[in-house]
């Protein structure tokens, strides 16, 4: 703080006092000379390279053995390695072996020199007494005695393999494809489709029976599911719709002189889907009953869940197109009548990809996750009566279910937002009774947690960190959540010796004046508090998740860009996931919002606290949905954002993939799709814009960017366009990332980027 040198500041000077002093100073805007920019590029490249050589051991890979012990590799500078052995039962940690002697033993077997710090063991198993190891190095299996270090080639390693199957029911996915050719549970019948009609064949006698005659190759029966007593068969009469194709041209295929036209199937919003009409077939009398329900016109034929103790009833799940209704529907196979066991409706959207159901047939229960009370929580539903019991509750979010223990009647899950005075996005691991009682936090330490259980789940490794707090990995006992041993703690001495500045977490109020908005701030290593720096925002406002890093993240692209003389930020705003339902609902039919009212307030609040953040020079960049967002910034908020880099953006939600866009923009496709299109609004461009696109993008069709460019040209707008030949969905790769940095240096620092000769230094 050069401008404070004349002040006699006490050591305990508060941040508030510093802010008051800063506010009284006229900070000089950082506008470097061409030579200073050249030096910044050189230093940035050197720092990026140096950071790659510093091992952080942010997560360890535990290789569990037969007796709740495990080994792992600790990474050292220069790609060196150390091997450790941890006995969870004893709570001990020690070097796994003498690496020098083991290297000599391996050489004696293979005849190859082996560095003791570069053993590069891919697989390894310890004997029950931990006195012998069998390891794989390259293609060789070798067995070594850890007393004598005598090694021999090994051929049989099956003794050391551990059955890692879990005793609990781990997660399954709801949409499981039914079969076109299906054997009955009693092994007496085979159901299959022939000529589009349903046939069954008696396996012992070989007799074939045709059950339908209205099917055809164009509209066939298929997707079969048997009742557990083999007396009924569920089948679907489908009306297939062929997916339309999108195209791209590979311009630069080696050895050719012509572009190559490529295509692939790609459903866009509003496209029709294959429909499925469910039927019930009685095997005894060969009769057929149409299920009393509408055709299924969204997703495929659903899985049937048969009621335990009664093959008269089964249930299936249905998400209505438009994502505003989810049902679990019960069917009576004797008459085809239906009843809704679960019927959830909403005025906005149900996030289909995060629907969770687990069927517990022994107790006639369904574990279900829903946001119907405004927060994502777990319910227990009676599959006969439909009665619902809330298992978890409160102003916090269940993130996922790890497993369900039907014997102990416990649910193991992850959640965020429970602990006060903590980042509401931090993930913690919990278990709770089916009755909603005895909830235990397995990960009470402050931070974002990643847990890995031992194969029998008696122990777990908990790795936790914060974006600016290094990781710690501890070993705990599952039954009590008791800490047994500190396994690893990241040493940041070498990292901080580079001069890098760790990011700062910053919180400001949203547009409602009440809700906290969380983000991170990266500053250059040579940050001068007497100067003000341009701000660059890294944006991804896709509603499917939240995106600000929560794990230790000292080195990434944001940190790297900051070294050129920028303050780089990232923030999760209203419209993204993992907060309340109301927080998320802001995006509904409103992708154009992008959280910008919150972002702008957040950046202004940052500048109020830190005047070194120059709000007159704000840039923004993003990829994919973030590319759409960054372009929106200079179309709709050009009074604040002065420059944007948009990579492979979805510039019109009608051009992008169906499943993503109908989830947030709704169905049917309405005028709001057009009104919010970057292409439709191209004439509003008010800032500098660089577009980057891969010509072979199969995620977001490249014509999304090309049509935007066409609209900009027709509006006589200045912009830059970089096309990456042969590249798929991308931020531009090394070339595109260089062009992005050069663009911001030019637009926000007023200096032409240096030539590539800086790479020679």
**Residue-wise DSSP of 395-463:** SSEEEEEEEEETTTTEEEEEEES-STTS-TT--EEEEEETTS---EES--SSSEEEEEE-TTSSEEEEE
Query: Under 8 Å CB-to-CB from 633, ≥6 apart: which residues?
Result: 539, 594, 596, 620, 640, 641, 644, 687
For 102, other C-beta atoms within 10 Å of its C-beta total 23
How many whole angstroms separate alpha carbon 171 and alpha carbon 355?
Answer: 12
Which pLDDT score, from 0 to 100, does residue 759 have?
A: 47
Q: What is the DSSP string of 705-728?
A: HHHHHHHHHHTT---EEEEETT--
How many whole angstroms separate alpha carbon 66 and alpha carbon 69?
Answer: 7
How many whole angstroms separate alpha carbon 33 and alpha carbon 754?
Answer: 11
Q: Closest Cα to residue 226, out of 249, 192, 271, 272?
A: 192
How many whole angstroms separate alpha carbon 604 and alpha carbon 681?
Answer: 26
Which pLDDT score, from 0 to 100, does residue 589 have?
A: 98
Which pLDDT score, from 0 to 100, does residue 26 have?
A: 81
Task: Tell me the sheet residues that pair with 573.
Answer: none
How many whole angstroms separate alpha carbon 330 and alpha carbon 336?
Answer: 10
The first and second tokens of residue 93, run together, are 């940690």
The first and second tokens of residue 480, run together, are 């009590």
Strands (E), 548-640: 567-572, 613-623
Which pLDDT score, from 0 to 100, does residue 66 have?
A: 83
**How, if at all, do strands 260-265 and 245-250 pair?**
antiparallel
Which pLDDT score, from 0 to 100, does residue 754 have?
A: 87
Which pLDDT score, from 0 to 100, does residue 158 have?
A: 53
Domain ranges of the chain: 31-51+495-753, 66-160
For 70: left if phi > 0, alpha if psi spans -120 to 50, otherwise beta; the answer is: beta
For 510, other C-beta atoms within 10 Å of its C-beta total 19
What letter does residue 514 receive in the DSSP assignment?
A: S
Handedness of CA 554, 558, 564, 567 (dihedral sign): negative
Q: What is the mean pLDDT of each run of 10 residues along the chain (761 residues)?
A: 35 42 71 96 96 93 93 95 97 97 96 95 93 93 97 73 44 43 92 97 95 97 95 97 97 96 97 97 97 94 93 96 98 97 98 96 97 98 97 98 97 97 97 98 98 96 98 97 97 96 98 98 97 98 98 97 98 98 98 98 98 98 98 98 98 97 98 98 98 98 98 98 98 97 98 69 38
The burial of 24, by beta-carbon neighbours within 10 Å (0-12 exposed, 13-18 middle, 19 or more buried), is given as: exposed
Which pLDDT score, from 0 to 100, does residue 155 have?
A: 81
Cα dihedral 183, 184, 187, 191, rounded to 10, equals -50
Q: What is the pTM assigned to this prediction?
A: 0.92
Which pLDDT score, from 0 to 100, does residue 5 have?
A: 35
> Any idea which fold 31-51+495-753 has?
Rossmann fold (3.40.50)
């Amino acid at each position: 703080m050069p401008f404070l040198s004349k002040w006699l500041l006490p050591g305990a000077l508060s941040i508030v006092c510093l802010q008051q002093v800063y506010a009284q100073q006229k900070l000089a805007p950082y506008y470097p000379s061409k030579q200073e920019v050249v030096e910044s590029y050189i230093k940035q490249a050197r720092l990026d390279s140096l950071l790659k050589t510093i091992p952080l051991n942010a997560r360890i890979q535990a290789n569990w053995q037969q007796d709740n012990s495990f080994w792992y590799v600790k990474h050292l500078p220069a790609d060196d390695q150390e091997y450790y052995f941890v006995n969870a039962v004893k709570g001990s940690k020690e070097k796994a072996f003498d690496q020098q002697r083991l290297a000599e033993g391996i050489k004696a077997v293979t005849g190859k020199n082996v560095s003791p710090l570069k053993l590069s063991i891919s697989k390894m198993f310890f004997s029950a007494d931990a006195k012998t190891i069998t390891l794989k190095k390259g293609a060789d299996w070798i067995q070594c005695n850890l007393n004598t270090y005598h090694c021999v080639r090994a051929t049989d390693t099956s003794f050391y393999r551990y059955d890692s199957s879990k005793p609990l029911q781990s997660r399954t996915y709801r949409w499981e494809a039914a079969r076109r050719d299906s054997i009955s549970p009693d092994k007496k019948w085979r159901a299959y489709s022939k000529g589009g009609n349903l046939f069954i064949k008696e396996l012992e006698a070989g007799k074939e029976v045709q059950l339908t005659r209205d099917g055809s190759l164009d509209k066939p029966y298929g997707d079969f599911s048997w009742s557990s007593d083999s007396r009924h068969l569920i089948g679907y009469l489908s009306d297939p719709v062929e997916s339309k194709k999108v195209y791209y041209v590979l311009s630069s295929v080696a050895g050719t002189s012509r572009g190559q036209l490529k295509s692939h199937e790609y459903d866009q919003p509003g496209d029709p889907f294959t429909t499925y009409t469910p039927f019930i077939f009685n095997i005894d009398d060969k009769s057929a009953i149409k299920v009393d329900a509408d055709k299924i016109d969204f997703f495929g034929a659903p899985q049937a869940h048969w009621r335990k103790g009664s093959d008269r009833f089964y249930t299936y799940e249905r998400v209505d197109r438009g994502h505003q209704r989810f049902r679990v529907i019960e069917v009576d196979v004797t008459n085809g009548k239906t009843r809704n066991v679960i019927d959830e409706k909403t005025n906005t959207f149900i996030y289909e990809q995060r629907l969770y159901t687990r069927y517990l047939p022994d107790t006639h229960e369904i574990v279900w996750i829903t946001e119907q009370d405004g927060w994502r929580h777990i319910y227990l539903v009676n599959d006969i009566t439909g009665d619902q019991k809330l298992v978890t509750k409160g102003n916090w979010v269940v993130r996922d279910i790890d497993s369900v223990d039907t014997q102990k009647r416990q649910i193991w899950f992850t959640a965020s937002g429970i602990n006060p005075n903590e980042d509401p996005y931090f993930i913690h691991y919990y278990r709770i009774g089916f009755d909603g009682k005895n909830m235990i936090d397995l990960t009470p330490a402050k931070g974002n947690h990643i847990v890995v259980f031992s194969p029998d789940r008696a122990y777990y490794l908990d790795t936790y960190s914060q974006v600016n707090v290094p990781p710690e990995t501890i070993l705990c006992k599952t039954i009590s959540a008791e800490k047994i041993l500190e396994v690893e703690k990241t040493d940041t001495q070498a990292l901080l010796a580079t001069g890098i500045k760790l990011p700062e977490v910053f919180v400001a109020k949203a547009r409602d004046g009440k809700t906290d908005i969380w983000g991170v701030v990266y500053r250059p290593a040579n940050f001068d508090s007497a100067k003000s720096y341009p701000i660059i925002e890294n944006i991804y406002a896709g509603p499917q998740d939240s995106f600000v890093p929560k794990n230790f993240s000292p080195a990434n692209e944001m940190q790297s860009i900051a070294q050129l003389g920028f303050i780089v930020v990232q923030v999760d705003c209203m419209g993204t996931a993992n907060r309340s339902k109301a927080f998320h609902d802001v995006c509904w039919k409103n992708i154009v919002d992008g959280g910008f009212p919150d972002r702008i307030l957040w950046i202004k609040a940052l500048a109020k606290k830190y005047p070194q953040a120059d709000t007159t020079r704000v840039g923004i960049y993003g990829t994919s949905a973030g590319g759409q967002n960054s372009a929106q910034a200079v179309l709709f908020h050009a009074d604040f954002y002065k420059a944007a880099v948009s990579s492979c953006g979805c510039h019109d939600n009608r051009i992008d993939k169906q499943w993503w866009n109908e989830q947030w923009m709704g169905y049917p496709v309405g005028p709001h799709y057009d009104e919010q299109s970057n292409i439709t609004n191209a004439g509003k461009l008010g800032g500098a814009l660089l577009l980057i696109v891969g010509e072979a993008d199969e995620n977001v069709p490249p014509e999304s960017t090309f049509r935007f460019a066409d609209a900009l040209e027709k509006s006589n707008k200045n912009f830059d366009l970089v096309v990456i030949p042969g590249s798929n969905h991308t931020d531009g790769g090394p070339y595109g990332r260089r062009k992005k940095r050069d663009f911001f240096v030019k637009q926000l620092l007023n200096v032409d980027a240096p030539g590539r000769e800086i790479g020679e230094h």
